[in-house]
Structure 1
Amino acid sequence: MAVTKIEKPNHRRLWGYAFDPSLSNNADTANFNNLIFKVRWDDYKEKGPVGEYIEVVDFDPASGCFYPPVDLNNIHIVAKDGLMPSESNPQFHQQMVYAVAMTTIQNFEKALGRWIMWSPKLIYDKNGNIIDDAYVPKLRLYPHAIREANAFYNPNKKAILFGYFPAISENTGTQLPEGIVFTCLSHDIIAHEVTHAILDGINTKLIDHYNPDTLAFHEAFADIVALFQHFSFEEVIKNQIAKTRGDLKSQNLLGELAQQFGHAIGNYGSLRDAIGKINPETKKWEPTTPNPDDYLNKTEPHDRGAILVAAIFEAFIQIYKRRVAD
């Protein structure tokens, strides 16, 4: 009897959030916020998951706890396209950071036409001088690394540390007051931080402080990638174009970053917005008016980077308008 050879799948399907958990609690956005990411198939040798590019290590230093790693090769998990979205399940948190990180890596590789490489780990002598460097095969992701409202890429550890914290604002939106917000469940924060790591691998000098534009470029490019990755989510695009009647220059989710995080830390809107912001006095969204003096006056990397983000998003909207003019 002939034996049929079954080819290895090209992709693995994993559930995750298109934005963050808060949008799944809103009737207007719940129907598209839970989606399936298609990531490159990887034969995981270890739970975590630990793949070719990424190693998820779920250790919480504040509590001294190691959360059991998810086994994405488990037949029941594979059959259900991964674990279903859940704010309370640490194993889904591991799946979420992995799925979004791999999606971001795949988009970079498609654009660059080559593999992604992480920056090497520098080795110092006792006097602090660089004497060698070491190849870094995998970027480490720590979903519950710090108990604070922050997430960041650590170029020395070649790792991304995600924080979690209680919502501190009265204006929490759909977030439970004083409920725990996990930065590892925000698509935008994960994509933003992974982009920092990828850029560091492309050019390690961009992370230096010798020029105010280098760190600003890092922040701007990371925001741009997180924003435009939303445009690969078909149901999100359909919903937002219908909601704005095609006017993407009006307030919409496609121009906003980290809605849940922004509300939880006291903002009246998202953490950052490419085309506008909520006026704290009127509590209404207003489009941003370009100011030529911003480049001279703004030196904080996020504020300075926002100039480039706004310019790129405006250029995209102009192209979009011309293409749909008829």
Structure 2
Amino acid sequence: MTDMIEDPVLPAAFVPTPTREFNAASANRSAARQLIRPALKLVRSTDDKSAAGPAIPIPIPPLPIAFGSRALIYKQDPSVTEIGLRRVLLRGLFGIGPSNNRIHLAGVPPVAPNSMNDFVQAPDTAAFDAVHTFSIVHLALTMCQRAVGAVIKWQWNSGANTDPIKVFPHAGVTMNAFYSRNEKALKFFFFNKPGAPTPAPVIFTCRSLDIVAHECGHAVLDSLKPGWLSGTGNPQTGALHESFGDLVAIFLALSQLDQAEALIVQTKGNLHNKNFLSDLAEQFGLALGRDNGLRNADNDKKLSQVTSEVHDLSQVFTGGIYDILADIFLLERNLGVTGEDEALTLVKCAQYVFRLVLRAIHAAPATNATFANVVNQMLVIAAADGKPVGYRNAIRNQFTAREVVVSPTPLTQDVSDDDVFEAVDHPFLTVKENGLQDRSGCCGTMRLREHQFDERYLQEELDELQGGIGGEDDPHQQFDHAEAAE
């Protein structure tokens, strides 16, 4: 049996431990509240509060039982010093592992909560990696569920199957991370930094919020759109899958006020200045000799400037959504003098844009979806939400500039409710006959053999076999046998 990891001794700054005096004072305050509560339940039935009269009991609803555990995580990549290590509060009831009904850890010793039911572990240890990976998956899933307003089942869940997803923080040695539908798992690997002198630093993909959130995004989207993961569909469908993983990472970062505030400070409110949000998986990218992570969400790529390779293609959609976020934030922050704090404004804008994207994806076709399908759904939903026309202008303008849709009206005019946005024809983005999507530049999820084809592909081979020549039923073969017998 795997040994359980006990809490190491951490500096007081990591875990606020209540003193004996604090506990005593807290108990006194709780007792005082109990004395006050009965008095609040009685209100006289007459207007004269001093007059005698029957007391009318007013029920006070019981306080909800709120479970929560604190955890220490990297709120970006370990290399992003602007954010670094922060504590987060995970809402829910968690068991040893940590674990809950939706997420189970595997391949690492389970971590026990401390006496305060917290999972705060020393950084860069196996216990920390377990807690960090669980926390990011939990936070990403929670964000997606809030966006659609419903519980999202894993792809294999049904009325009788409630199996959790298995998460492997230390799945093995390779430069990879992936989601596997067949294994019902998220797997994160580690590797030595290429070209570094011995002993080379070890890069753990599970320590990157971007990478963990990205792979969790694949799992969530596979549940909502199981027909999108096959390699036999439109390349843009595969690109939407890859892009959605990046968008989950971006919007998970922006769901946290401290990250939004750090981003505002770093960019002075201009999201097109170089920043840690648009650079994805920085530590992994630096290990490969790059200067901006594995991907850059703040790009200007058009469909005519990319190939049909799914990862390359995905950057067009990701960049378009990033620009829409920047445009909507610019619209809203202009009210900042009399409105809200800029960081809070950014968080709210990000929440809406992510909700918009996820609902549009949910409403898109079950198979062979295109960027234009999702864009048109975004426009319809934004109008139904009663958002300012500037929101829809941003959506139309950005994806028209990226050659995704054709606008029937000039971009200098407001979007009309009657506008229909046709997809731009890009012949090179169609599936080759009997071919698969080019996923050579994608993450491990899109390159897994199990996600490259589906049963329809196997059926095509069987149909071809039945119509082939040769075999015992072939009349030419029977004639040859007869000649041989003579």
> Shorter chain as normaliser: what TM range?
0.7 to 0.9
- Aligned in 2, Cα 1:135/1:214: closer, same or farther, shift over 3 Å? farther
Alpha-carbon distance, 1:71 to partner: 1.2
- The amino acid of 2:307's aligned partner reads K
Q: Which of 123, 126, 133 is matched with 1:86 structurally?
A: 123
| Structure 1 residue matching 2:189: 3-state secondary structure | strand
Matched, 1:242 2:283: no
- The structure with more strand, counted as a fraction of residues: 1
Give structure 1 stretches of 5+ with no counterpart: 59-66, 123-132, 276-287
Answer whether contact 1:227 1:254 (CA < 8 A) is retained.
Answer: yes
Alignment partner of 1:20 is 2:77: yes
The question of 1:312 aligning with 2:321 is answered: yes
Give the length in aligned residue pairs: 275
Greater helix fraction, Structure 1 or Structure 2: 2
Quote the Cα distance in structure 1 between the aligned partners of 2:320 and 2:199: 36
Contact 1:206 1:215 in 2 (8 A): yes
1:169–1:223 CA distance, 2 compared to 1 (3 A) = farther
The within-5 A match list for 1:92-171 is: 92-120=128-156, 135-169=161-195
Find the counterpart in structure 1 of residue 302 from structure 2: 291
Q: TM-score with structure 1 length normalisation?
A: 0.77
Per-residue Cα deviation, 1:49-69 (whole angstroms, up to 9, x for no partner):
2311000002xxxxxxxx421
Aligned letter for 1:218?
H
* Distance (whole Å) between structure 1 residues aligned to residue 219 and residue 271 of structure 2: 30
User: What residue in structure 1 maps to residue 103 of structure 2?
Assistant: 54
Letter in 2 for 1:12: S
CA-to-aligned-CA distance 1:87-119 (integer Å, 9 cap, x gap): 1x1011110111111101111111111112111
1:248 CA displacement: 1.1
Shift of 1:43: 4.3
Counterpart secondary structure, 2:100 = coil
**CA offsets 1:149-193 (integer angstroms, 9 cap, x no match):** 1100011101011000011156x9xxx982001001111111111
Equivalent residue, structure 2, for 1:196: 218
Larger Cα Rg: Structure 1 or Structure 2?
Answer: 2
Q: Name the residue aligned to 1:271.
A: 294
* Residue identity opposite 2:130 in structure 1: Q
- Is 220-229 or 240-249 further displaced after alignment? 240-249
Query: Deviations 1:273-298 (Å, cap 9, x if unpaired)?
Result: 111xxxxxxxxxxxx4433403xx52
Structure 2 Cα separation of the partners of residues 322 and 169 of structure 1: 46
Residues 301, 315 of structure 2: 8 Å contact kept? no
Whether the aligned pair in 1 keeps the contact of 2:137 and 2:216 (CA below 8 Å) is yes
How much identity, in percent, do the aligned residues show?
Answer: 29
Quote the Cα distance in structure 2 between the aligned partners of 1:50 and 1:149: 26
Note if contact 1:57-1:142 (Cα within 8 Å) is conserved in structure 2: yes
Higher relative contact order (CA 8 A, sep 6+): 1
> Alpha-carbon deviation of 1:229?
1.2
RMSD between superposed Cα atoms in Å: 2.6
Deviations 1:186-245 (A, max 9, x none): 111111111111111112111111221222111101101101111122222222212222
Give, in angstroms, the shift of residue 254 of structure 1: 1.5
**Matches of 1:319 and 1:300 in 2, distance apart?**
30
Distance change >3 Å, CA 134–CA 298, structure 1 → 2: farther
The letter for the 2-side match of 1:264 is A
Whole-angstrom CA distance in 2 between matches of 1:301 and 1:186 = 22
Which of 161, 166, 181 aligns to 2:203? It is 181
Question: In the alignment, what sits opposite 2:67?
Answer: 10
Is structure 2 residue 282 aligned with structure 1 residue 259?
yes
The reply to whether residue 75 of structure 1 matches residue 115 of structure 2 is: yes
